[in-house]
Structure 1
Amino acid sequence: MFQFIAHLRFFAKATNQHGVHSPFIYNYVTKCLYIKGKLHQQKNKNVLLKSIAYFNPETAFIASEDIKKIIQKVKTKLNFTSSTVDLACLELPNLKEFNTIKYHNNTMVFIDKIYTNKESLEAWEQIKKLKKVTVTVDLFYCAIVFFRKEQAKEHFKIRI
């Protein structure tokens, strides 16, 4: 029931590319997320794989072996490390785990299952409020976080 109500609330506030006034996010949405074709059946994993193809990261922190295997089918030359990374993947929003990520200005953090339950949603809200986080993209099925210093702090809710 929680997810159903959360999805209705999300849908009421979410927009498509026409509601985005950031050139960076507009390009991400139109040239990545809205490109036809599926790389995976699940929407969250499809977003992750399309984002990897779009941003072309070289280093990644991914705790889940299942996610690593899925990614390696699309991008074979990705260096998995725990040092400063271009891409990090979290299976759930977790503030403690999020704060361990070593990031740079262009790091992208993929967070899965942000609307699983109230605790996940609260953790997601805490992550969005962090000073180091400048741009977030809430896609309901997952979320993307950026640390771009040149961009004003903004939160987007995008329908996919």
Structure 2
Amino acid sequence: MWFKIKLYILFLFKSTNKHGVHSPFVFHLITKCFNRKTDLSQKNKFIKVKKWLLKDETILNVTDFGSGSKVFKMNERKVSDISKVAGIRTKNGLLLIRLIDYFKPKSILEIGTSVGLSSTALSIGNSNAKIISLEGCPNTANYATQLFERFNLSNIEVVTGEFNQTLPNIIHNKSFDFIYFDGNHTQKATLNYFTKCLKTTHNNSIFIFDDINLSKEMHQAWNIIKEHPKVTVTINTFYWGIVFFRKEQNKQHFTIRL
């Protein structure tokens, strides 16, 4: 906890807004995406799904293949509690919608479906995109699939199984425009997924890593990712690490307050 507080204080000192950015690409991203309001119809649809999840008392027996929960002590968990503790924050969910709307990726991969709230944001951002979402727990994956059907989010395919088994098959001979990493929040797993997914990138691909400052090892993983030769531009928003592979850009790292 104290490590995260320390990182947040450092983030506040280092971070800037659009006025401290000297990259036209990043400046445009901040002004036209980060700082604009989410389309009202998209926002309302996301809020509707989130409210549904926060009220759902369904109990799921969750199989956790990741780093484990620091909050939940039992595998039986209410959907409402999962959504409250592990679901994407509304502010980030709306930003995810705007990012997808701004870049308009056609092929999206999500590593870590959970009960489907982040997937919902991805789908709302671009209903024409093909979204593949990986989930380790069969019960959670089944719940998310039913949620997508209920809210007519027809462009999401959920693939169930441990990521080390499902990810290689999903990315084999494929490229992705956008990958959202929100699965196993450990340094080893994060770097493993990053390395595997590098082969799917093209010049305009975008990676987003959730919870880069969750722990010391996630912070270390983020620093390693930043220095990879294929990575050119990164943006640290504290909760997210956003990665670009644009060869026309000089290598630059930005710390942006949202």
> Which deviates the most, 150-159 or 85-94?
85-94
Name the aligned partner's letter for residue 88 of structure 1: I
CA–CA distance in structure 2, aligned partners of residues 42 and 112 of structure 1: 14
Give SS of 2:217's match. Answer: helix
TM-score, length-normalised on structure 1?
0.92
Query: Of 232, 237, 241, which residue of structure 2 is paired with 1:143?
Result: 241
1:107 — aligned with what?
Answer: 205
Residue deviations 1:54-106 (CA, integer Å, cap 9, x gap): 10100011122223233223422211353201100101471110111110000
For structure 1, the residue ranges without an aligned partner over 5 or more in a row are none
The higher relative CO (CA closer than 8 Å, separation ≥ 6) is in 1
1:156 — aligned with what?
Answer: 254
User: Which structure: greater helix fraction?
Assistant: 2
Percent identity over the alignment is: 36
2:20 — aligned with what?
Answer: 19
Query: Of 80, 83, 98, which residue of structure 1 is paired with 2:194?
Result: 98
Residue deviations 1:90-134 (CA, integer Å, cap 9, x gap): 014711101111100000111110000000000000000100000
Give SS of 1:100's match. Answer: helix
How many corresponding residue pairs?
160
Q: Is the 8 A contact 2:96 2:121 kept in 1?
A: no
Residue deviations 1:17-65 (CA, integer Å, cap 9, x gap): 0111110000001100011348465333232221101101000111222
- Superposition misfits of 4+ residues, deviation over 3 angstroms: 37-41
Larger radius of gyration: 2
Deviation of 1:143 (Å) = 1.6
TM-score, length-normalised on structure 2?
0.59
The two structures, once aligned, show a CA RMSD in angstroms of: 1.7
1:68 — aligned with what?
Answer: 119
CA–CA distance in structure 2, aligned partners of residues 8 and 151 of structure 1: 29
For structure 2, the residue ranges without an aligned partner over 5 or more in a row are 47-88, 133-170
